């Protein structure tokens, strides 16, 4: 038989134990090229640039080039 609790764990103590399990909102920064919000240290989904270089081609840019 396993260990059994001697006392009820209060909501406060249970919450303190689970405090580190919460989800945090992702940190967003402003893209220096297009000004849209993006995740830090990742390619911008709006313009496809990373550190001032064009990394991926966007569909709307390819259509306007033709």
With vertex at residue 29, the alpha carbon angle to CA 38 and CA 57, rounded to the nearest 5 degrees, is 30
Chain-centroid distance of CA 1 in Å reads 43
Confirm whether pTM is higher than 0.85: no
**What pLDDT is recorded for position 59?**
76
What is the DSSP secondary-structure string of 30-47? E-TTT--EEETTS--TTT
**27 φ, ψ to 5°?**
-80, 125
**What pLDDT is recorded for position 19?**
95
Chunk the chain into consecutive blocks of 10 residues (it has 66) and report each block's average pLDDT, rounded to whole numbers.
Answer: 91 96 93 92 92 83 52
Chain-centroid distance of CA 51 in Å reads 19
**What pLDDT is recorded for position 57?**
86
């Amino acid at each position: 038989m396993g260990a059994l609790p001697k006392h009820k764990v209060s909501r406060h103590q249970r919450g303190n134990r689970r405090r580190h399990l919460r989800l945090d909102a992702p940190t967003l920064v402003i893209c220096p090229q297009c000004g849209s919000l993006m995740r830090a240290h990742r390619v911008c989904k709006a313009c496809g640039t990373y550190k001032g270089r064009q990394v991926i081609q966007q569909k709307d840019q390819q259509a306007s080039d033709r």
